[in-house]
Structure 1
């Protein structure tokens, strides 16, 4: 079974593309969603994140995401330390999940495949791109954030040009109709 990486910058539409593949019967693993679940469930992660960020890392409701986001926003070292705690656990969780799947391929959606140098973990990579203004508008509609914060995240990620060079397939996600056609074409290629 092939492991296909699905990646793209913030607001590119990875979730939309993942849903389109899911509608074709492809098993989808959303690394970000699973990481958030593990950060709330795992006692080991909880203990290590409290050691890293302090008691405010968690509230009675669970992970204090706004607090952690404020700490790592302009601190790459803290972000890397957090990723070193969380990513191995997500990787192990994915391997357990993978054993339960069947089909020609599965998709693991992860925003920072290239930034973290994880491309060797995949048989091929699908990159989702969109016009920058479209991406910014999507994030502004989806999240309670500012244009400046969105641009800061965009600037922290590799450029689409760099990612395109490293990807096996590229989906330009500006309209849903065009995106559906591109997803179907890639799907047919992957099940051959």
Structure 2
């Protein structure tokens, strides 16, 4: 089984590309979604997050208080690093379990905004980059998250990899710029990866 990472900056369209692969029968692990699930459902992780950030990390309904937590760590890199050191190992353990459940698939995708090149502290065989121009990414994100200002979106972008850094880790690139057709690119890559597997 090939393990393929799929990444891209905010608004690049990673999710829509992943959904296309899922339609083709490819299992996809959504790291950010699973991280959200784990912060709410992993009791040990909840306990550790409360110890680090205080009880306000969870709202009155007992749900992870994402907005409040984001405000605490936004300008505090050290605190963000500590929070990530709690969450990331849980996500990696969860991923490993998911890999085992899907080991009969020719290849699987793990989607995440944070990613290294294949073989660089991970067991990926290759990395797919979903790429789009910055202007399009900002417009898409504003449409998807109307509560976010352009300044907020740009601030998120500055904390992610640059275009050059993303390009440097990619073995394959899918261009999602509203000009290149997505489906033929996904089908061609699916064919290639299925053959390699």
For Structure 1 versus Structure 2, the TM-score category normalised by the shorter chain is over 0.9
1:189 maps onto 2:192 in alignment: yes
Q: Mark the runs of 5 or more structure 2 residues left unpaired by the alignment.
A: none
* Equivalent in the alignment of 1:150: 153
The runs of at least 4 aligned residues of structure 1 exceeding 4 Å deviation read none
1:27-46 paired onto structure 2 within 5 Å: 27-46=27-46
Q: Are 1:66 and 2:87 an aligned pair? A: no
Aligned to 1:59, what secondary structure does the other structure show?
coil
Distance 1:119 1:170 in 2: 21
Equivalenced residue count is 191
* Cα shift at 1:114: 3.0
Which residue of 2 is the match for residue 173 of structure 1? 176
Deviations 1:54-80 (A, max 9, x none): 110001331001101111222221111
TM-score norm. by structure 2 comes to 0.92
Question: Match for residue 88 of structure 1?
Answer: 89
Deviations 1:127-149 (A, max 9, x none): 11101111001111111210001
Q: 1:171 to 1:149 in 2, by over 3 A?
A: same
Unaligned 5+ residue runs, structure 1?
none
Partner of 2:138: 136
